[in-house]
Amino acid sequence: MSNAVGVDVGGTKIAAGVVDEHGAIVEKVRRPSPKNDPVALREVVQDLVTEIRSRHDVVAVGIGAAGFVSADRRRVLFAPHLQFGDEPIADLLQDALGLPVAIENDGNAAAWAEYSFGAGRGVPDQLMVAIGTGIGGGLILGGEIYRGGHGVAAEIGHLGIVPEGRPCQCGRRGCWEEYASGSSLTFHARTAAREGRAPHLLAAAGGDPASVTGSMVTELARAGEPESLALFAELANWLGLGLASLVAVLDPTLVVLGGGVSEAGDLLLEPVRAALAREVTGGSRRPLPEVTLAALGNDAGLIGAADLTRKIEA
């Protein structure tokens, strides 16, 4: 068995896992993400990998990063949610660890994992939509990750959806992830709680609107609470609107919905399917992609990054 380490560098935590050739996680460790400190971030990754490899034989390390990764997969060019610095982080870690290291956009990594081991097995043309803090994406075309001309394709969270719309952390306005991500769900839920429109959510959060979480919305919506259901319906509408554009451009066979928000399951899936069918040009006159839920949950990025790096070494 040739195991590889996958590292998921997220906005709140960094997780490292040993992944076997079947995409199974053998062991996983995690730590909080250092804020605004590229050196500390690199040290945490190094420490986590050092810890976990003391207990497992591993051949390579793949780092999934929520950002624009250079075509040579050595550095992060641009990351709205995290600071990776300008250094070739893959080279620095490779030297420090004495193991092959590559960086992969986390959406690409998640798409690869779902295609290889998850909900998209055997479907050569598929789009991954990872709905979490932002919206990540990955595109599998002809059974390969489609990386684009400069390595930064599938940044679907920055589809422009409202001209002069809400400010996005990327510096632009009106990006899709400002309307259809987990953060936007939480933002609207807190606003509703603060404005007295969501008494059940407020109660679930112990009376503090700022403590409302996406999971609370999911839980209450599952129980049929109307305001939480309305919040999901709005999210699904925005997701459908963006998906309609992506389907017009890409015409995928399959769309896999992943990321933390996809844990809401059918609560998300059914209204998104309906919104896509309603919003897409050609409607019933054109074939639509299947839309399904990711199978690997929040581990997809970590599993995919490990597997992709193992493949470089193979």
Binding window for its own copies (CB under 8 A); candidates: 91-99, 162-170, 226-234, 269-277: 162-170
Decide: 238 and 187 in contact? Cβ < 8 Å.
no
Contact 276, 236 (CB under 8 A): no
For its own copies, the binding residue among 122, 163, 196, 206 (CB under 8 A) is: 163
Nearest-angstrom CA–CA distance, 118 and 113: 6
| Least distance (Å) between residue 246 CB and its own copies | 7
* CB closer to its own copies, 5 vs 123: 123
CB 55 within 8 A of CB 49: no
Q: Is 66 in the site for its own copies (CB under 8 A)?
A: no
Nearby residues of 61 by Cβ (< 8 Å), 6 or more positions away: 4, 5, 6, 7, 49, 93, 94, 97, 99, 100, 101, 102, 306, 309
Site residues for its own copies, window 254-313 (CB under 8 A)?
Answer: 254, 279, 281-283, 285-287, 289
Q: Does 75 bind its own copies (CB under 8 A)?
A: no
Show the site string, 173-212: x = touches its own copies by CB under 8 A, - = not. Answer: --x-------------------------------------
**CA dist list (Å): 55 to 49, 194, 260:** 10, 48, 29
Q: Does 147 bind its own copies (CB under 8 A)?
A: yes
Residue with Cβ nearer its own copies (62 or 138): 138
- Rounded to whole angstroms, the Cα distance separating 66 from 84 reads 10
Lookup result for tokens 């949610």: 81
Interaction site with its own copies (CB under 8 A) = 68, 71, 77-78, 80, 125, 137, 139, 141, 146-156, 158-163, 168, 170-172, 175, 241-242, 244-246, 248-254, 279, 281-283, 285-287, 289
